[in-house]
Chains A and B, each alone.
Chain A
Amino acid sequence: MTQEAVAEAAPPPEPGPVVRLLQQAIPGVQFHVTVTPIDECVTVRRDDFLRVMETLFRDERLQFDYLRCQSGVDYLGELESVYHLYSFGKKHSLAVKVRFPTADPHVPTVSHLWAAANWHERETHEMFGIVFDGHPDLRPLLTEEGLGYYPLLKSHPLADIEEWQEDILTAVDQAKKELVAATGVAPVIDEKAMKIQIAQQKAAVITRTRKEAREKGLSAEDEKAAVAAALAKFEEELKSQPQAGAAAPPPMSKVEMAQAKAKVITNARKEARARSMSTEDEKLYVAEKLKEFSAQMEAGPAAAPAPAPKPAMSKIELAQAKAKVITNARKEARSKGLSAEDEKKYVAEKLKEFSAQNQ
């Protein structure tokens, strides 16, 4: 972690007065001293942890009688349990940290020393999966029983949207590579990129011509003329090339492309899940769909977004249209001065016409 890197780079800070007291009270224990803007902070080994905490609680010189806060931190591969202590007698504070691997998340409880630790440890247990050995009651506190995952671990995504975002970046990259490998054609023509490319080519032509001219020992004027001729030739060549960018409808923007791809991925996943495929198969399936998509894109952006058939009238729209027909028919009937019976018949006729039209 970055934190470790910082700690290694800087010389180890001088232990403050509280840490010195602690060292006196419990000699022979290794402390790793770090600095925070307010409190003094020590990291202890897990084997020494309980002994250190008991000393902090009981020792006359330290008298840490108040546990303000206990937190867990996930350092990817390692978990950390942090205790912030305060002494009402001595008016000093200290942070104690203990680290252990995620694979073996056990640490002794301190709830027998500070009753306040009870709920803090329960919460940390349910959020990080840290097991506080000896804790009287490790039931989940804030979430339901049997959640099956530890929400505050870094491996747990914030929500699906995050997963989607990460996936899409890798998927887009992969799709691009696949496309280039399969066809040898860059997938999307970026107008700006193309302009830059042309400018670069132009610059290369100018440099080359100048170089040649100088090698031939031409005069400055002749050199200019040569460059102009070379440029004119280059532009002519450019014009004679099939202009993909100008002829084709405006290419999809990158964002649109990414969105379309994301849609493909999401749909493919949904289908795969609906068919209850294994994760491996699902991946393969998604990859296949992506390939299809890339092929479509290559065939031409116009072909890619298949024009959806015009959606049939929704029920509500239909009902609204029907209502309109009825109202109109009635109006007409009244303007013609029809009797109530005839009016009904007229409306029915109009409705029949309408339904015939819509079928």
Chain B
Amino acid sequence: MARETLIPSERDLDTIDIDVNVGPQHPATHGVFRMVLTVDGEVVRDLDPVIGYMHRGNEKLPENCDFRQVIGYHDRIDYLAQFNTEHCYVEAVEKLGGIVPTERSQYIRVILSELNRITSHLMFIGAFGTDAGLFGTSFMYAFRDREYVQEFYEEITGERMMYNYFRPGGVAWDVPENFKERCRQILDRIRKGIGDLEGLMVGNEVIMARCKGLSPMTPAQAINWGLSGPLLRATGLAHDIRRAEPYSIYDRFEFDIPVGTTGDVYDRLMVRMLELSQSVRIIEQALDQMPEGPIMAAGMKRILRVPAGEVYMRVESPRGEYGVYMVSTGVDKPYRHKVRGASFCNISALREMSVGHFVADVIMILGSTDIVLCEVDR
């Protein structure tokens, strides 16, 4: 890799490679995650990610819950994109059961999912700035705006983190009367916040020096490693499930798919920055189109029984492709409930991305994957 040329290449001295543990409790690992680095001086020669510290059996538990009880587990799988994960699950149940959600509830779902994308990306940008050395400022900017939205979620669902709001066939209850008004208010703030963050991050000397050209990736590599989301788009591939295989009502909105060119860490950051504005665009359109009406499909039973069958439902979560493979045998519980976490696949390529780089850069690379360890371990 490019960085290797910077290392003094003399091998006259006797040196040995040593193993260094990073994590599991380490602020730079963004959760309970450990990587065993084999380092030659400052250069990483090998990397072995060790996961599973957060494994809670999120695939076994739903086999003993009825279809409605499973929704809560999805909040806990990706705790930064709860609406997106819930969206995936309820769509999977609806696809299996042939349930058509009401128009209004679909708009509510899309608006909340996109807001969730914004809050998740804000979290990433804040944390990534800290990784890069912009201690505090990026976090403060990001969290100031995130807090507005977080409060808004609380107004709607009553919860700050574990919303449990979507249901097969619709949503749990209707949004407050001032929903559109509040939403527009929040969008204004977010637009301002995006401006602040762009002023801070884009072209920032620290960010440029640390991220530009770090760990580039080709589209072919990314595809083969099963990467998705911003990591995949940073390589220049305009793939977004919202566009490629539109689910829910995403085919009704106009939005661009931001792409990078080289797939390096800087591109990954920029793709996320640009996605913020696209999400705002989608929400604006959705607010304009959002109709009045029922929020739950007619004739929904209290205990759902979906016909036997199977489905692999996927949505574009902020981290990439979030998928649920569900097998039903016609009873009130899923027979098999597999979760394809975007973080799980993204982190599996960490070795590929990191070998040959400095230890300090590996922290940046790990940060740029935007992992949620609960989604990795499930």
* A198-244 with Cβ < 8 A to chain B: none
Taken residue by residue from 7 to 30, chain B's Cβ proximity to chain A (1 for < 8 Å, 0 otherwise) reads as: 000000000000000000000000
Residue pair A88, B239 in contact (C-beta under 8 Å)? yes
**B228 CB to closest chain A CB, in angstroms?**
8
Q: Is A14 an interface residue (CB 8 A)?
A: no
Residue pair A116, B57 in contact (C-beta under 8 Å)? no
Please report the C-alpha to C-alpha distance between residue A151 and residue B64 in the assembled complex, in whole angstroms: 14
**B150 CB to closest chain A CB, in angstroms?**
30
Closest to B227 in A: A116
**B88 CB to closest chain A CB, in angstroms?**
12
Question: Which among A41, A66, A140, A156 has the highest number of chain B CB atoms within 10 Å?
Answer: A66
Residues of A within 8 A of B363 (CB): none
Residues of A within 8 A of B123 (CB): none
**B220 CB to closest chain A CB, in angstroms?**
8
Residues of A within 8 A of B308 (CB): 2-3, 6
Q: Is B47 an interface residue (CB 8 A)?
A: no
**B341 CB to closest chain A CB, in angstroms?**
10
Residues of B within 8 A of A71 (CB): 325, 336, 338, 340
Residues of B within 8 A of A38 (CB): 95, 245, 311-313
Out of B51, B312, B323, B329, which one reaches A141, CB within 8 Å? Answer: B51
Q: Is B40 an interface residue (CB 8 A)?
A: no
Residue pair B327, A3 in contact (C-beta under 8 Å)? yes
Q: Is B193 an interface residue (CB 8 A)?
A: no
Residue pair A152, B59 in contact (C-beta under 8 Å)? yes
Residue pair B95, A162 in contact (C-beta under 8 Å)? no
Residues of A within 8 A of B60 (CB): 151-152, 156, 158
Out of B61, B96, B223, which one reaches A66, CB within 8 Å? Answer: B223
Q: Is B41 an interface residue (CB 8 A)?
A: no
Q: Is B66 an interface residue (CB 8 A)?
A: no
Residue pair A116, B329 in contact (C-beta under 8 Å)? no
**Given A3-B327, A114-B226, residue A119 in contact with residue B63 (CB < 8 A):** no
Residue pair A116, B52 in contact (C-beta under 8 Å)? no
Residues of B within 8 A of A93 (CB): 245
Please report the C-alpha to C-alpha distance between residue A6 and residue B352 in the assembled complex, in whole angstroms: 44
Residues of B within 8 A of A156 (CB): 60
Residue pair A115, B95 in contact (C-beta under 8 Å)? no
Q: Is A118 an interface residue (CB 8 A)?
A: yes
Please report the C-alpha to C-alpha distance between residue A71 and residue B224 in the assembled complex, in whole angstroms: 18
Q: Is A252 an interface residue (CB 8 A)?
A: no
Residue pair B348, A118 in contact (C-beta under 8 Å)? yes
Closest to A37 in B: B95
Q: Is B1 an interface residue (CB 8 A)?
A: no
* A86-141 with Cβ < 8 A to chain B: 88, 91, 93, 95, 114-116, 118-120, 127, 140-141
Please report the C-alpha to C-alpha distance between residue A38 and residue B313 in the assembled complex, in whole angstroms: 8
Q: Is A69 an interface residue (CB 8 A)?
A: yes
Q: Is B330 an interface residue (CB 8 A)?
A: yes
Out of A73, A116, A162, which one reaches B327, CB within 8 Å? Answer: A73
Out of B245, B338, B378, which one reaches A69, CB within 8 Å? Answer: B338
Closest to A162 in B: B64
Taken residue by residue from 133 to 161, chain A's Cβ proximity to chain B (1 for < 8 Å, 0 otherwise) reads as: 00000001111100000011000101000
Please report the C-alpha to C-alpha distance between residue A172 and residue B224 in the assembled complex, in whole angstroms: 55
Closest to A113 in B: B224
Please report the C-alpha to C-alpha distance between residue A2 and residue B336 in the assembled complex, in whole angstroms: 13
Please report the C-alpha to C-alpha distance between residue A12 and residue B283 in the assembled complex, in whole angstroms: 43
Q: Is B244 an interface residue (CB 8 A)?
A: yes
Please report the C-alpha to C-alpha distance between residue A38 and residue B377 in the assembled complex, in whole angstroms: 26
Q: Is B321 an interface residue (CB 8 A)?
A: yes
Residues of B within 8 A of A88 (CB): 223, 237, 239
Q: Is B291 an interface residue (CB 8 A)?
A: no
16 A-B Cβ contacts within 8 A? A2-B330, A6-B309, A36-B309, A36-B312, A41-B310, A68-B228, A68-B314, A68-B321, A68-B323, A74-B336, A84-B312, A114-B224, A115-B224, A115-B226, A142-B51, A158-B63
Additional pairs, 5, CB under 8 Å, beyond known A114-B224, A141-B52: A1-B329, A36-B311, A68-B314, A69-B340, A144-B52
3 tightest CB-CB pairs across the interface, nearest first? Answer: A116-B226, A142-B52, A71-B338
